[in-house]
Amino acid sequence: MKSARVAVTGLGAVSPLGLTADEMWAGLCAGRCGIHRISTFDPTGLACELAGEVPEYRIQDHVPKTHRKAVKLMCRDIEMAVIAAQEAVVSSGLVTKGVDPEHVNVDPTRVAINMGAGMISCDIVELAPAVAASMTDGRFDIRKWGKDGLQLITPLWLLKYLPNMLACHISIIHDIQGPSNSIACAEVSAYLAIGEAAQVLARGDSDIALAGGAEAKVNPLLLVRQHLLKRMTPACADRPEAACRPFDADARGSVFGEGAGVVVLENLEHARSRGARILAELMGVGQSHNINAAYERLEPDGKGLQIAIEQAIADAEIDPDELDLVIPHGTGVPEDDRAEARAIAAALGPAVRRVPVWPTKSMISTTGAACGALDLIAAVRATAEGVVPAARNFEKPAQGCDLNVATETRWGKIRHALCCGYTHGGQTAALVVKHFDEGDDRR
């Protein structure tokens, strides 16, 4: 059997801090905040009128010629995922059909894909004329819809919004014919997708996998949902850059945003044999479930998250003492942050006093199914470069959050980094990545 070791060899990120992983990382290191008042629609009426919006792009610039026609079948989630995947593949040095069809250097049947996706909300403006044509006495009339309104919907409408279409478009562009999955577990989707992709590689079903997640959360109805669930911060309308404050005493809720992150995972021997640049090694995957009658909150003791973190550490065959960074989910919702802090403290034991905790959502916002991918990318960059940047908007710890939140930038080797997440509904996950040293053949 081939070695079960999994290397990270490519990164791609679309975030409120920029359209590339480099821009995101530079922004995170500089403590830049990508949160502003929503510009794509008038958000007046929402508890929080702020969001993390991705800078403007033209999707045509990011797809090969052969796929240009298909961009009309892409919702925003798909577009961002496609952009991130392109960057990830190019940065890995792999040559797929989507990079250069003349010089492909991968076996398409040995490449897998696994994308986390949100419950994609349809474009309301696209639907509105059909709804308007289906009214009787000012109210929606289903019989008119079935007869007239429905006919105004573009024939391929449904295909724009199926969660598996992120993976579908990426697999067509890059000719990925191996195992394909799409995880739909809200904010923990990307971790679950990346964890599963690593398991697909470890069991030898593929040599390479593209994995990550994307979601366009800056959508009126998706934000209505967060408003109703009381997860939005009502504070700081005039100071967007101070609004999202994970683990801080003044936190009042989260700010939502959009983004996409994709990583290239690769069997370590495969990566070595082609002389790839290895950014980190994915060492451990842990998963569990939160059990709470209030589905929209993490259980108060964080037990389900604690189990996931413990399992990831055990899977990596390390002690908590060998961690030098934790990137938490840290949304800025006070009850959830408190429960997460308990989970991290319980899982890390005494090491929690030393290990720096660095939340990123104060800068990139809560990006739904993209969250985990963006945080894993940050963890990989941090281990590769040996730096824990300073947390933003953390001044005074919230009561019950006894974590060593990084208040200033620290340089030094990061042996292992752990990142973790959870979602309403209850799934939890954690991943451990290791700084990769050439010639490292511990096992």
Partner 1 sequence: MRTPKTYERVVITGMGIVSPLGNTVETFWEAVLAGRSSADRTTIFDASTFPTTFAAEVKGYNLAKFVRDTRLHKTCSRGSGFAAGAAAQACRQAGIDVETAELHDGIDRARMGIYLGAGEGSLDHDAFFASIIAGWEAQEQRMVWPQLLASALRQMSATRELEQEPNMAAGHIAALTGARGPARSCLTACAASTQAVGEAMMLIRWGRADVMIAGGAHSMIHPLGITGFNRLTALSTRNDSPQTASRPFCGSRDGFLIGEGAAILVLESLRSAKKRGANILAELIGYGSSSDAFRVTDMHEEARGPVQAMRAALADAGLTCKDIDYINAHGTSTQENDSIETLAIKTVFGERARQVAVSSTKSMLGHLIGAAGAAELIACVLAIRDNVAPPTINLTDPDPKLDLDYVPNAARRMPLNTAMNESFGFGGQNNVVIVRRFTT
Query: 266 to 325, contacts with partner 1 by CB under 8 A?
Result: 282-285, 287-291, 293, 295-296, 303-304, 307, 314-317
Nearer to partner 1, 175 or 402 (CB): 175
| 43 near partner 1, judged by CB under 8 A | yes
CB of 387 to partner 1, least distance (A): 26
| 59 near partner 1, judged by CB under 8 A | no
| 390 near partner 1, judged by CB under 8 A | no
Nearer to partner 1, 27 or 195 (CB): 195
Nearer to partner 1, 31 or 157 (CB): 157
- Residues 107, 109, 110, 111, CA torsion sign: positive
Are 231 and 254 in contact, with CB atoms under 8 Å apart? yes
| 140 near partner 1, judged by CB under 8 A | yes
Are 329 and 422 in contact, with CB atoms under 8 Å apart? yes
Residues 16 to 35: which contact partner 1 by CB under 8 A? none
Contact region for partner 1 (CB under 8 A) — 23-31, 125-133, 211-219, 339-347?
125-133
Closest to 187 in 3D by CA, of 152, 210, 168, 213: 213
CB of 256 to partner 1, least distance (A): 14
State the Cα–Cα distance between residues 96 and 301, nearest whole angstrom. Answer: 46
Tokens of 149: 């309104």
- Pairing between β-strand 280-289 and β-strand 180-183 as defined by DSSP bridges: unpaired
The full DSSP string for 81-93 is: HHHHHHHHHHHHT
Residues 183 to 202: which contact partner 1 by CB under 8 A? 183-186, 192, 196, 198-199, 202
| 346 near partner 1, judged by CB under 8 A | no
CA torsion 361-431-292-213 (nearest 10°) is 60
| 39 near partner 1, judged by CB under 8 A | no
Which residues, including other chains, have CB under 8 Å from residue 442's CB and lie 6 or more apart? none
| 442 near partner 1, judged by CB under 8 A | no
Tokens of 262: 């994709």
| 421 near partner 1, judged by CB under 8 A | no
Selected from 105, 142, 237, 440, the binder of partner 1 by CB under 8 A is: 142
| 234 near partner 1, judged by CB under 8 A | no
Total of residues contacting partner 1 (CB under 8 A): 106
Tokens of 215: 């979601």
Are 361 and 248 in contact, with CB atoms under 8 Å apart? no
Nearer to partner 1, 29 or 122 (CB): 122
Selected from 138, 275, 350, 412, the binder of partner 1 by CB under 8 A is: 138
For 366, phi then psi, to 5°, come to -90, 110
Closest to 199 in 3D by CA, of 211, 188, 189: 211
Selected from 94, 176, 214, 417, the binder of partner 1 by CB under 8 A is: 176
State the Cα–Cα distance between residues 194 and 182, nearest whole angstrom. Answer: 11
| 224 near partner 1, judged by CB under 8 A | yes
- For helices 189-202 and 371-385, give the axis angle rounded to 10 degrees: 60
| 228 near partner 1, judged by CB under 8 A | yes
Q: Is 74 exposed, middle or buried (0-12, 13-18, 19+ CB in 10 A)?
A: buried
CB of 150 to partner 1, least distance (A): 5
Selected from 61, 65, 102, 125, the binder of partner 1 by CB under 8 A is: 125
Nearer to partner 1, 87 or 187 (CB): 187
Selected from 180, 254, 331, 362, the binder of partner 1 by CB under 8 A is: 180
| 409 near partner 1, judged by CB under 8 A | no
| 426 near partner 1, judged by CB under 8 A | yes
Angle in degrees, CA 82, 87, 90, rounded to 5: 120
CB of 293 to partner 1, least distance (A): 6
Nearer to partner 1, 15 or 171 (CB): 171
Selected from 230, 239, 277, 396, the binder of partner 1 by CB under 8 A is: 230
| 37 near partner 1, judged by CB under 8 A | no
Using the CB atoms, write b or e for 404-441: b if 16+ within 10 Å: bbbeeebeeebebbbbbbbbbebbbbbbbbbbbeeeee
CB of 145 to partner 1, least distance (A): 7
Selected from 30, 59, 131, 346, the binder of partner 1 by CB under 8 A is: 131
CB of 351 to partner 1, least distance (A): 21
For 24, phi then psi, to 5°, come to -65, -45
Are 244 and 256 in contact, with CB atoms under 8 Å apart? no
Selected from 32, 37, 144, 272, the binder of partner 1 by CB under 8 A is: 144
